[in-house]
Amino acid sequence: MNFELFNPQDCAPDTEKAFTLFPQLKKFYAGLGNTPLTPVPSPEGKATILAKFEFKNPFGSVKDRTAFGLFCDAINQHDFSRGELKLLDSSGGNMAKALAKLGDMCGITVQVVIPDSSPQALIETLEGDNAIVTLVDRNQFLLGVIARSQQIAHDDSSWTLLSQHLNLVNTAMHQYQTGAEIRRQLNGTHADGWVSAVGTGGTLSGVAAALRQDNPQLVVWGSTPQELPYGTLSAPNGEAKFAGAGGLGFGFRQPFISKLMPQEPPFNQVSYREALCAMHEFFQLTGVKIGASSAANWKTAWKLAMTLERGQQVVTLFADAGSDVEREKGREWFKQSEALTA
């Protein structure tokens, strides 16, 4: 399995060719990004937590940004006179959905490699958007889907492997778009802390690079599942964990973090139960629906805010709105916890 970074960028990919060939992308792009940066419940007397509401993107998640960037970059590099463009990538869920919808919008064939633990509703959505779905044993987790996608591309060169875990378009989208937006929205102030879950590590490292331009002393923390934490020496596993994040297993580290960040940030471990309880708790406090990784980010941001002072700011990101099924499970677990402490 190849774990080398590639395709360095000094800006987000140019959209001209994509818009010329596929003008339907213009409407999607008009709704992409510029998501709200909103104050959320924070510890009293300590730093304020601001969350970027990425579920406001057109397809409902932060992965809409990365998918669009990778999509445009692949279009820019492809010679359409020599044949059709066929796109392939591995995903834990949201990236697969965004790529499938973009492909269906443009009539471009998309194949997604996902764990076989993926919800049936996701698989049906992907197939409804005409994506080819390849399932990998959940116990192989991220390493398994990455390895399988690389094997498919190796065996059949007609596929363009986007490789969200290694393609530097990923970090560029978050440095030059997501991070740039946050800097504008801070309106002349700066972030003292930055918190993000680590899936590919592209959001964590890309936004950190942007925010450090205004504050070189920025404190960066990651959120990681307790069931398979970042950098773990344990084998990949199929245990339930908050989606879109996790260690790779066997001591592997996400290259965007290990190779691009000045130092490895601390990672706060959040269990699946804690994340789902926090989904319910946040909804009760605010009336806003957030996903499990978003809830894990909120809890991690809260811990970081507790170490800072009033007047300082911790920025985090809510990747998606999650599912009502998980939120209901979180409600049941939250009530059980309340009963135990009563």
How far is 279 from 321, CA to CA, in rounded Å?
9
Task: Give the up-direction half-sphere exposure of residue 162: CA atoms within 13 A in the CB hemisphere.
Answer: 31
Tens of pLDDT along 241-298? Answer: 998 888 999 999 999 999 999 999 999 999 999 999 999 999 999 999 999 999 999 9
Rg (CA), the chain: 19
Instruction: For the chain, give the percent of residues with pLDDT over 70.
Output: 99
Please give the pLDDT value at position 337: 83
Tens of pLDDT along 99-137? Answer: 999 999 999 999 999 999 888 999 999 999 999 999 999
Binned at pLDDT 50, 70 and 90, residue 341 comes out as low
Q: Tell me the average pLDDT across 9-26.
A: 98
Tens of pLDDT along 136-156? Answer: 998 888 899 999 999 999 999
* Alpha helices per DSSP H over the chain: 16-21, 25-30, 63-77, 94-106, 120-128, 141-155, 169-173, 179-185, 202-211, 255-258, 272-286, 292-306, 324-341
Q: What angle do CA 322, 326, 329 make, to 5 degrees?
A: 155
Binned at pLDDT 50, 70 and 90, residue 340 comes out as low
Range with the poorest average pLDDT among 51-60, 110-119, 176-185: 110-119
Range with the poorest average pLDDT among 88-97, 188-197, 218-227: 88-97
Q: What is the mean pLDDT of the chain?
A: 96
Please give the pLDDT value at position 187: 97
User: What is the set of domains in the chain, with CATH numbers?
Assistant: 23-58+168-341 (3.40.50.1100), 64-161 (3.40.50.1100)
How many angstroms from the chain centroid is the CA of residue 35? 15
pTM recorded for the entire structure? 0.96
